Structure 1
Amino acid sequence: MASRGTPSGSQTSLREANAARVLHAVQQHGGITQVELAETTGLSPATVSSIVKQLLVEGSVETRTTIRSGRRATLVTLTRRTGLVVGLHLAVRSLRVLIADVGYEVVAERVLPLPHDHRADTTLDRAALLTVDLLEEVGAGIDEVIGVGVAISAPVDPGSGVVASRGLMRGWEDVAVADVLAARLARPVVADNDANLAALGESRFGGARGATDLIFVRASFGVGVGIVSGGVLLRGPGGLAGEIGHVLVDPQGSICPCGSRGCLHTVVGSDAVLDSLRVSHGPLTLRDVLSLAQQGDPGCRQVLEDAGAAIGAVVANAAVVLNPSLIVVGGEVGSAGDSVVTGVRDALARRVLLNTDGPVSVIRSELGPRAEALGAMAHVLDREGAVTV
């Protein structure tokens, strides 16, 4: 007698499709628990558990015990044998290097402080040497690296990989960062602006998972945004999309490094913040200001609140134009306190947005200082096609 129900061929196809969904979710999100896999894929916990066991036997994934919300959980990652990926963040005053497998499980990390106006050739040499050192520490060779992603605090032309214009990274103009590092490491290298890659990182691994329309506000020594629209990063010709630090906010203001007068950068950049405190506090670093503000220093708190309000006003206008469902705030200043988050929320509250679905959510970055480097890793594994969330 013929059995009733779904034909066995259809059942096999369904199992294969479900296994592919689980594998895709693991690759997209890196380390993810079985409970999170069920939520992400829409499959039942029992189905996910069965598929994970199957993938373990095949050697496609690895599992280990972790803690989520105070409870033991099974973390699923892709097997390391598939290769390693390197994420670099070349910022104004620091270099961060992450090494992970293709499941985005970080196996090594190092942060190196950099001097003011650090030179491109010296810094790229340091980045290459530090990458090789970290690989040796985990017992890996450069030949295991699939590729290197670089996040840099400057606009990057998406076609040429060249730093596109003057800005915070003085002396880096016209430097082909990806080409220089590729020559030093003999591996494929991709480069992009750090706010763009932080947006990508946050949408893959952080609080913006699943959001296809978002703005990532990176408030640090300067300010810029990464824009994801319809699941695609918006770069613009020359990679200049999202440079809100050069939006006019004070027609009678100071001259910006870009050459214009009264840009947002001249009001909220680190030089402006430190200059406003020089009389009352003497010489400080940005890190000093953030630390003192957290300790309750009224002057430092005030300048950060003023900066947050100025950034919020510009981001609120951008929200009217771009209609995001989510705004994520990160960077050293954005992650250090509530000044920027509050500034953006207050500015949005004063605007009548055209979106009638409800207020735009504003959250702080879940990934913190790793957002840019993790996004750079995702950019490596996405380089064969369009960068999508």
Structure 2
Amino acid sequence: MSRWPAGSQSALREANTALIVDAVKQFGGLTQVELADATGLSAATVSTIVKELTQTGVVDTRPTARSGRRATMVTLARSTGIAAGIVVGHRGLQVLLGDFAHEVLAERTMPLPPDHPMDTVLDRIALLVVDMLEILGTDLTELAGLGVGLPAPVEASTGMISVRGIMRGWDGEHVGNVLAKRLGRPVHVENAANLGALAEATLGAARPYADSLYVRSSFTAGAGIMLGGRLHRGYAGTAGEIGHVQVDPLGQICRCGRRGCLDTVVGADALLASLQVSHGSLTLRDVIARAIDGDPGCSRVVADAGRVVGLVVSGVCQTVNPQIVTVGGELSECGEVFLAPLRETLRDHTLPNHVAPMEVQPALLGTEAEVMGALVHALQSTDVRMQRER
């Protein structure tokens, strides 16, 4: 809330300053000309406010070049702090620290057992974050906040998982509050696929587009939707939950309690089970490596997964009409073995748009998309001016 009466010059200056800071936060760094375009402010206004923000230590500037011409790049100052991006997967944990220019300063990964208990995982996160900060020569006082991604629908206002059974032992828990008490810093919880969509729209292949869809195929499937440059979560955060769309009415029982969901057909457990007789015991990493090397059986199950995912995603695309679909998660590492059948199925099951054909590309950030999205989410949720004043 502004400290000045609405309509006053001070209120206008504060609003314009917030526009500039938010634009730099969103993209990590922009030239002054790009800031004017992004905010709709005049070049003179941008220049004046950037000088003030530089003097107060909120932003840094450095010379750069755009289209062969000299320009001034504006980034948030390192002194505004750093943030943590965290993704809790079904079988692993990713943690990274980064600054307001989206530069990754430290990163750790850790395997997790199936059905990992919440308290144990949050304890590990807290210990990892403190340890990583110490390695960087800093501490929790410099940590602006944490973004946490979960492979489940999340109700944004509470940070709670909104559908029971998907993460056993995590139901009914205020995950953000519990972790915030351990570390004493703000925690922002979000669905992991939504964070992948946010990262690709902010830093990745979807950056030029207002409407985009991020699809993750890994141990489970999920999707994140960006409409008009903003995350579309739906009511209680269940938008994009493609892993729980029924594709086989007579199929296996899913964690959500329904039968034949997409996760039961293209999730890691289903893929590995289909190869048990011909290949013996494999891990998902084994399947991906063998598919890349041309193993017929592994290539077949990956391609079949691409077709089924494409069929489900086609319904989402026909409904929201994204300009681009970016594909992440471990299966995307198989390249065209997975992407080609997915792309072909999308083409066959959506109306051909000759005005603006929909693009389908691998996520530019690859398997880092979701954890980078967690970092971006934490940074975008931080008021850097208040952070600077504290």
SS in structure 2 of the partner of residue 127 of structure 1: helix
Aligned to 1:347: 345
SS in structure 1 of the partner of residue 154 of structure 2: coil
SS in structure 1 of the partner of residue 171 of structure 2: coil
Kept in 2: contact 1:167–1:257 (CA 8 A): yes
Aligned to 1:291: 289
Cα shift at 1:51: 10
Aligned to 1:9: none
Kept in 2: contact 1:309–1:343 (CA 8 A): yes
Which deviations, in whole Å up to 9, do the C-alpha atoms of 1:162-215 show, x marking residues without a partner? 122245533322222111100100111110110011101111111111322111
Kept in 1: contact 2:243–2:261 (CA 8 A): yes
Cα shift at 1:374: 2.0
Kept in 2: contact 1:311–1:340 (CA 8 A): no
Report whether the alignment pairs 1:117 with 2:101. Answer: no
Aligned to 1:176: 174
Aligned to 2:273: 275
Q: Aligned letter for 2:24? A: V
For 1:240-251, list aligned pairs within 5 A.
240-251=238-249
CA distance in 2, matches of 1:204, 1:105: 13
Unaligned stretches of 5+ residues in structure 1:
1-15
Which deviations, in whole Å up to 9, do the C-alpha atoms of 1:70-98 show, x marking residues without a partner? xxx99763210011111111111111111
Kept in 2: contact 1:31–1:105 (CA 8 A): no
SS in structure 1 of the partner of residue 304 of structure 2: helix
SS in structure 2 of the partner of residue 136 of structure 1: helix
Which deviations, in whole Å up to 9, do the C-alpha atoms of 1:330-371 show, x marking residues without a partner? 011124422442233101221351744232101111112221
Aligned to 2:194: 196
CA distance 1:304–1:105, shift in 2 (3 Å)? same
CA distance 1:40–1:251, shift in 2 (3 Å)? same
Cα shift at 1:35: 10
For 1:1-389, list aligned pairs within 5 A.
25-30=23-28, 59-62=57-60, 77-166=75-164, 168-353=166-351, 355-383=353-381
Q: Taking structure 1 as the reference length, what is the TM-score of the superposition?
A: 0.83
SS in structure 2 of the partner of residue 350 of structure 1: helix
CA distance 1:206–1:36, shift in 2 (3 Å)? farther
CA distance 1:116–1:32, shift in 2 (3 Å)? farther
* 24-33 vs 206-215, which moves further: 24-33
CA distance in 1, matches of 2:73, 2:113: 39
Q: Aligned letter for 1:148? A: L
Kept in 2: contact 1:95–1:111 (CA 8 A): yes
Alpha-carbon RMSD = 3.5
Q: How many residues align?
A: 370
CA distance in 1, matches of 2:38, 2:21: 11
SS in structure 1 of the partner of residue 207 of structure 2: coil
CA distance in 1, matches of 2:348, 2:122: 44
- Give the fraction of aligned pairs with identical amino acids, expressed as a percent: 52
* 177-186 vs 154-163, which moves further: 154-163
Kept in 2: contact 1:329–1:335 (CA 8 A): no
CA distance 1:286–1:166, shift in 2 (3 Å)? farther
Kept in 1: contact 2:218–2:329 (CA 8 A): yes
Aligned to 2:11: none
Unaligned stretches of 5+ residues in structure 2:
1-13, 384-390
SS in structure 2 of the partner of residue 149 of structure 1: strand
Kept in 1: contact 2:57–2:79 (CA 8 A): no
Aligned to 1:5: none
Q: Taking structure 2 as the reference length, what is the TM-score of the superposition?
A: 0.83
Kept in 1: contact 2:225–2:231 (CA 8 A): yes
Cα shift at 1:161: 1.3
SS in structure 2 of the partner of residue 123 of structure 1: helix
CA distance in 1, matches of 2:18, 2:176: 32
Kept in 1: contact 2:291–2:298 (CA 8 A): yes
Cα shift at 1:302: 0.6
CA distance 1:34–1:306, shift in 2 (3 Å)? farther
* 19-28 vs 354-363, which moves further: 19-28
Which deviations, in whole Å up to 9, do the C-alpha atoms of 1:255-307 show, x marking residues without a partner? 21211111111110111100000001101111111111112211111100000
Kept in 2: contact 1:86–1:100 (CA 8 A): yes
CA distance in 2, matches of 1:108, 1:49: 33
Cα shift at 1:232: 2.2
Kept in 2: contact 1:320–1:354 (CA 8 A): no
Kept in 1: contact 2:311–2:349 (CA 8 A): no
Kept in 2: contact 1:162–1:175 (CA 8 A): yes
SS in structure 2 of the partner of residue 174 of structure 1: coil
